[in-house]
Amino acid sequence: MAFDDIVRIEQLQKGPLEEGEWLANKRVFIRVDFNVPLDKKTGAITDDSRIRAALPTIRYAVEAGAKVILASHLGRPKGHDENLSLEPVGLRLAELTGWEVHLPEDCIGDAPKKVIHDLRVASAGLRGGPQICLLENLRFHQGEEKNDETFARALAELCDVYVDDAFGAMHRAHASVDALPRLVKDRGMGLLVASELAALARLVGAPARPYVAVLGGAKVSDKIAVIEALLARCTSICIGGAMANTFLAAQGLNMQRSLVEGDKLALARTLLQKADTAGVKLLLPVDVVVGTGIDVVEGQVVAVTAVPAETMALDIGPKTIAAYSAVLRGAKTVFWNGPMGLFESPAFATGTFELARAMSGIAGFTVVGGGDSAAAVNQAGGDIAAGFDHLSTGGGASLEFIEGKRMPGIEALRRGARP
Ligand code: ADP
Ligand code: MG
């Protein structure tokens, strides 16, 4: 996939001006992914990495003297919902940057227009620091998810320039991602999106071999398309997590009370067959850690052929960890999606954390995609996260990218994109 007809924020300039200077005093709409996890009881932000990830682009535009307008969705509101206001995000952003963040009550209409008109932009000798505008949750309007033209026009009225830096939303044909950029002539991608595309493109172009994929997580059904795509490119695929149970059951093993997708057994056999035909080594666990329920404090290691009655497999076992780590040691390219077990519980986190450690230590190019997987890498401790070449901020988006799907948010930025 080529992206040379997509302008980067640094190239959004006209004429013989200094880099970024053309953005001065322009109203620059930046679509960010501020869909942060919130504490269910208190509503507090439990992880602000998505806000931090967007800062370089926001800072770039602010320092170029732009009137910066940030827009995001948060959660799945049905209409206006105070509990899903972007207010806590605005407060965190102000804390992180020291700027004044203004949050008009609606994302379209006169309220944001007035705020944007009055914004004080960064300039030499500025007293009081710059001000930026954060629009209220885009999904308070149904038009966002419907990719509605009228809603997109109302957003377009707010800005002169459009920048997409919300990689995690680029696979969605929503108004702020798809219809809106097509209406704005001066548009491009932010620094985060540019780095995501550069990293993920290395997995779909001509990845250095051996190319090892590690797949886990809750369901086979979520990942069929990505498995199929990886079969065409990988040297080996290591399977763990609940997904492995379905493959093991498909081979006739009794997984007892483990999570197994009973209606996907035939599909699992087909995938094993396809791997064989393609000459791809598809590795399955040889041992697992079982427990009688997800709240047990200590698991028991057993062979996959001897899962005790009344138990479920909740992590990969030590022999499997050793086997997968050995495969990873020789890899030149690694893509990981989906935890190896129920890592939220310390009794079943070892497989996930040990593979994270193994991957972070290799010299090859290592990428993690997927919300829970990236969270697991961050929780694995030490310098493990720093040992990865790329932690994608987009779960679904990174998978669709690897599947080779056209993503609406990317297509809309291309030079020839039409409304
Ligand atoms: P990602 O968000 O990285 O794409 P998924 O959402 O597919 O990953 O899967 C993550 C979930 O899968 C985690 O909540 C984890 O607890 C669960 N999981 C992994 N292995 C098992 C297992 N053996 N049994 C039950 N749940 C599992
Ligand atoms: Mg997930």
**235 with 162, same domain?**
no
CA of 404 to the centre of ligand 1 (A): 23
Atom 22, ligand 1: residue with shortest CA distance: 242
The CA–CA distances, whole Å, from 54 to 101, 181, 344, 394 equal 15, 18, 27, 13
Which of 152, 173, 194 is the last residue in one of the domains? 194
Q: Which ligand is nearest to the CA of 247?
A: 1
Alpha carbon distance 236, 331 (integer Å): 9
Task: Please give the pLDDT value at position 32.
Answer: 98
> Is the CB of 396 inside a 6 Å radius of any atom of ligand 1?
no
**344 with 271, same domain?**
yes
**169 with 311, same domain?**
no
CA of 22 to the centre of ligand 1 (A): 46
**34 with 164, same domain?**
yes
**144 with 68, same domain?**
yes
**294 with 369, same domain?**
yes
CB 233 within 8 A of CB 207: yes
**163 with 218, same domain?**
no
Alpha carbon distance 321, 101 (integer Å): 47
**257 with 342, same domain?**
yes
**14 with 157, same domain?**
yes
Q: Which ligand is nearest to the CA of 337?
A: 1
pLDDT tens-place string over residues 267-304 = 999 999 999 999 999 999 999 999 998 888 899 999 99
- Beta strand spans in 94-209 (E): 100-102, 131-134, 161-164, 186-189
Alpha carbon distance 274, 293 (integer Å): 34
**137 with 250, same domain?**
no
Atom 15, ligand 1: residue with shortest CA distance: 342
Q: How many domains does the chain have?
A: 2
Q: Which of 372, 373, 377 to mutate to test the pocket of ligand 1 (most atoms within 8 A of CB)?
A: 372
Q: Which residues are catalytic?
A: 50, 219, 371, 396
**162 with 210, same domain?**
no
Q: Which amino acid is at 406?
A: R
Alpha carbon distance 161, 27 (integer Å): 6
CATH number, domain with residue 31 = 3.40.50.1260
Task: Please give the pLDDT value at position 16.
Answer: 45
Atom 9, ligand 1: residue with shortest CA distance: 217
Stretch (H or E) spanning 202: helix 191-204
**188 with 214, same domain?**
no
Residue 72 domain flag? yes
Residue 418 domain flag? no
Residue 412 domain flag? no
Distance between alpha carbon 384 and the CA centroid of its chain, in Å?
Answer: 19
> Is the CB of 394 inside a 6 Å radius of any atom of ligand 1?
no
By residue range, what is the domain housing residue 376? 206-403
CA of 310 to the centre of ligand 1 (A): 20
pLDDT tens-place string over residues 332-354 = 999 999 999 999 999 999 999 99
CB 170 within 8 A of CB 164: yes
Q: Is the dihedral of CA 246, 247, 249, 253 positive or negative?
A: negative
Q: List per-block mean pLDDT (blocks of 10 residues) for the chain, which spans 419 residues.
A: 84 58 90 93 90 95 94 96 96 96 97 96 77 98 98 98 96 98 95 95 92 94 90 96 96 97 95 96 98 90 97 98 97 97 96 97 94 90 93 90 93 87
Q: Which ligand is nearest to the CA of 338?
A: 1
